[in-house]
Amino acid sequence: MVDYQEILDEIHESLTNVKDKGEVAGYIPELANVPKEKFGIHLQLITGENYSVGDASEKLSIQSISKVLSLAKAFQLVGTNLWKRMDVEPSGNPFNHLSLLEMENGIPRNPLINSGAIVVADVLLSNLENPKDDFLNFVRQLAHDDTISFNETVAESERLTGYNNYAAANLLKSYGNLENDVDDVLDFYFYQCSIMMDCKQLTNAFYVFANKGRCIHDQEHLTASQVKRINAIMLTCGFYDEAGEFAFEVGLPGKSGVGGGIVALLPQCFTIATWSPGLNPQGNSYLGMQALEQFTTKTKLSIF
């Protein structure tokens, strides 16, 4: 029998005292205030057992992790029409890079970089009656948790400094790849990024991707085929320009955010979330990546 709690405890202990914890994201002022010492891990097996260590029940700003959830909702709503407006190739560039978007005529490389997620936000705006409420309800249903909410202070903080996202959205609009107004699309996008969840809630919300489209309450939200494709996109595009490194070190589909969270999963086996706000130069949680590398090495559980 694998002792998962012992493994999480060992990983936590080996990394807590590491001096270099990376740098907290400074370009969204509200995120720069989060203490770098925070560090938590939560593991949920597909069979329902849960294991936690450290600050796993403290809320973090999920930021780009929300891009997988908005993608899931858009895929559910418009199906394969989504791929007319964006590609599914890794970008090999930072999450907010603009030159590829211009070279490729306003078709984002994939839905997990900012330009792609902004197009996904536009799809949700066009297809949901009350976009913010309906999207939040979708996330709450996936996680089976009505306490999950937006953080308006974080959304506002990002709106005031979101020059790069305004540039991307204007470029998309100029190529005819946004149906709605730039301000409305970005307002939705900043809100989706501002959702707060703890590591346990993240493993709950991502259970659907480990369970062929059925959430922790066994309700079907996505088809097995849609989940297969979303997991493929997470594996190849989920870690900025470090997706290859994450596949190499960890070997799981997943997604990170500049709030320092990472969620990863092994289909039919588990979902795991880590949180440590210090980021490496590519924007991925410095300790989180190391913790997940240790986890899949120690347990020998990865897709490879």
Q: Which of 261, 198, 277 is nearest to 32 (CA)?
A: 277
Contact predicate 184/125, CB 8 Å: yes
Q: Which is nearer to ligand GLU, 67 or 200 (CB)?
A: 67
Return the residues of window 250-279 that contact ligand GLU according to CB under 6 A: 257-258
Element (H, E) at 142: helix 131-143
Q: Which amino acid is at 58?
A: E
Minimum CB distance to ligand GLU, residue 191 (Å): 10
Q: Which is nearer to ligand GLU, 253 or 283 (CB)?
A: 283
Contact predicate 58/40, CB 8 Å: yes
Residue nearest to ligand GLU (CB): 64
For ligand GLU, the binding residue among 44, 70, 110, 114 (CB under 6 A) is 114
Tokens of 92: 């090999």
For ligand GLU, the binding residue among 60, 72, 86, 193 (CB under 6 A) is 193
Q: Which of 233, 282, 291 is nearest to 262 (CA)?
A: 291
Return the residues of window 197-256 that contact ligand GLU according to CB under 6 A: none
Cβ within 8 Å of residue 250, ≥6 positions away:
264, 289, 292, 293, 295, 296, 302
* Residue 286 binding ligand GLU, by CB under 6 A: no
Tell me the C-alpha distance between 201 and 104, whole Å: 37
Return the residues of window 88-107 that contact ligand GLU according to CB under 6 A: 95-96
Q: Which is nearer to ligand GLU, 185 or 193 (CB)?
A: 193
Minimum CB distance to ligand GLU, residue 165 (Å): 5
Minimum CB distance to ligand GLU, residue 112 (Å): 9
Q: How many residues bind ligand GLU (CB under 6 A)?
A: 11
Question: For residue 89, what is the DSSP state?
Answer: -
Cβ within 8 Å of residue 280, ≥6 positions away:
22, 242, 286, 289
Return the residues of window 124-183 that contact ligand GLU according to CB under 6 A: 158, 165
Binding stretches for ligand GLU (CB under 6 A): 63-64, 95-96, 114, 158, 165, 193, 257-258, 283
